[in-house]
Chain A
Amino acid sequence: MSTEEESIVTFGAGQALVGILSQPAPDAARQQVGCLLLNTGVNHRIGPRRMNVKLARRLAASGLPCLRFDMSGVGDSRPSTGTQDFRTQQLIDMRAALDQFQASTGLTRFLVYGVCSGAASAMRLAVADPRIVGALMFDGYVFLNPAQRVERRLRRMLAFPFNPSLRHLNPAWQACAAWLRAPRRMLAQRRAAPRDDASGPGDAADIFSADAPAYTAQDFAAELQLLVDRGVDVNLMYSAMLHVVDRDKDMLAQLRGHPSLARVRYRFWPEVAHTVTLLESQRLLLDAVDDWARAVAPPMRPLPAPAAHSPARAVRQPAQV
């Protein structure tokens, strides 16, 4: 897709939010849904590894308009002047993005895509806004059970003697190796170093913990049920960061037996990292999201030209933010 089909949009209270709308070429067939791409953490709207740009262009080439934008205070969007809490403000921002998307394209139904913290945001938006008809959450909520945690630890222990990366990541091993290499120097360093009782970085799995202490597997199951009952196409994808294998939707093991689980799409990717760092894994993910989006969208037909009137600004000329 050429960049001529991309335009800058500013919207929300005081036009504080900035986004990029990617549209299919004017003479191309259009899908009847658009896709909203969310921020991940503090990364601005291009997404980690520029994946939101790649995905927006890929989906636009498949006929799906895409809007990627910065939430309040992230990237190029101004901070909110409101008094709402963080999550409430995010929901306000996402709904404002859907309003803008609707005004710019005439579409009324949307998919939402989010990675990591963006997946949690996608869940909140899907629950709150009936315009969402599909939600793809990559490495979103995880509810492992103790057996899987033990298995994960055992697998890493078994691989440890043969895997230099695991040894490199193990602080105890590194300290031991350093002692063996230069015991006198290590002793001197230990005597000189101040005692550090601060805890180090947590288990990598910490970032997958529910983002609010009160949000439990039961809460997730209830919201999942609400979505599938509404007909929302829920697609849960998980990377190889948390485990090596997945036999039966293991990332949601605490929900096992819940009726909603049978009605969602689920995929565990042993070859794809949480951050989609390898270019080959990016290609796999882009293919999968494109396939899913086209499967969820109803058959294509020509659409009327985008709405001329917009409550917000879709600009090719400069817009003050």
Chain B
Amino acid sequence: MTPFYFGHGARRLFGVFHPPDAGTTLRAGVVLAPPFGQEAIRVHRFYRLLADRLARHGIAVLRFDFYGTGDSGGEDDDADLDAWAGDLAQAHRELLRRIGDRRVTWFAARLAAPVALRAVPLSFPRVHKLVLWDPVFDGMSYLTQLGAAQLDELEHAYCIPDAQWRRDFERDPLALSGECFGFALPERLRAQIQALTPRQSASAPGSVVSVVAAEGDTGARAWCEAVQAAYPGAMLRHSAFDHSLIWLSNAFPNNEMAPAPALQKMAAELE
């Protein structure tokens, strides 16, 4: 694999290119778009193993960090779903530049899913397929999850936690969602997330879309229903899939980083 920088001007992005293994024939390309904040840290190893696995089967993979995240330039305050859509389109072009005219699939987990949908019109040649894993289509629910995770983390991180944190959270589930696991949610990003609803986000990107979400993920189900209602011809598939990866957590014993069933499932979606 080859770590490198790409992008233009001051918007410098960090990426890792996984060429197909020696002896295999290049079949296609995949861009792995990371989720937000702690979830991106949590899934880093999963993405690397997934990329390695795909490369063994002749699929070139590009992993990258959105601007303001990971090893890319920028800070927390640069978080912006629209700008990240531009980053994903840039990664798409970079992958095509490396592999030539091949079918490219995007894999987007969590908050990267709505980013990917925004980026589709920016992709040329058009992305062939989107695989959206546990996508965030219900922004308020997601912010509540971030607030709850922040509270849980703080309560475990102090010998005697500040009693006000839990009182604030119980009064307003969004009270602690201004930052989560050490990552800021600047006002623009919060507003963009709050605006996410299954119906509002419904769009038929003109590419094949595979939504892989937990059985109880009502947001993902509602989004799929909204798309099918609005665009009967949409090439959309929804599959229920539960796994043991805890998105908003620190790594600790008995908390898997790359559950084998999830790796198998996602590799199958992408091959």
Contacts and interface: CB of A to CB of B under 8 A. Distances in A.
Interface stretch (A85-93, A217-225, A237-245): A237-245
Contacts of B223: none
Tell me the interface secondary structure of chain B in the complex. mixed
Interface of A: 2-4, 6, 8, 10, 18, 20, 41-46, 48-51, 53, 75-76, 152, 155-156, 159, 162-166, 168-169, 201, 204, 239-244, 273-279, 282, 315-321
Nearest to B69: A50
Given A164-B167, A279-B184, A242 B159 contact: yes
A76 B160 contact: no
A201 B5 CA distance: 41
A45 B250 CA distance: 15
Contact of A244 (B4, B41, B159): B159
Contacts of B154: 273, 277-278
A315 B183 CA distance: 29
B163 A162 contact: yes
B257 A42 contact: yes
A201 B252 CA distance: 10
B179 interface: yes
A50 B161 contact: no
A191 to B, nearest CB: 25
Contacts of B163: 162-165
Given A43-B41, A316-B5, A319-B3, A51 B160 contact: no
Nearest to B252: A201
A25 B242 CA distance: 48
B62 to A, nearest CB: 12
Interface string B62-96: 00000001111110000000000000000000000
Contact of B182 (A6, A76, A276): A276
B1 interface: yes
B17 A241 contact: no
A25 to B, nearest CB: 14
B71 A241 contact: no
Contacts of B250: 48, 275
B12 A4 contact: yes
A297 to B, nearest CB: 25
12 contacts: A3-B5, A6-B73, A18-B3, A20-B71, A50-B182, A76-B3, A156-B159, A163-B161, A164-B163, A244-B159, A273-B154, A277-B181
Contacts of A49: 38, 181-183
Given A49-B181, A53-B71, A319-B3, 12 more contacts: A3-B5, A8-B4, A20-B71, A44-B44, A156-B159, A168-B155, A275-B250, A277-B154, A277-B157, A279-B179, A282-B182, A321-B1
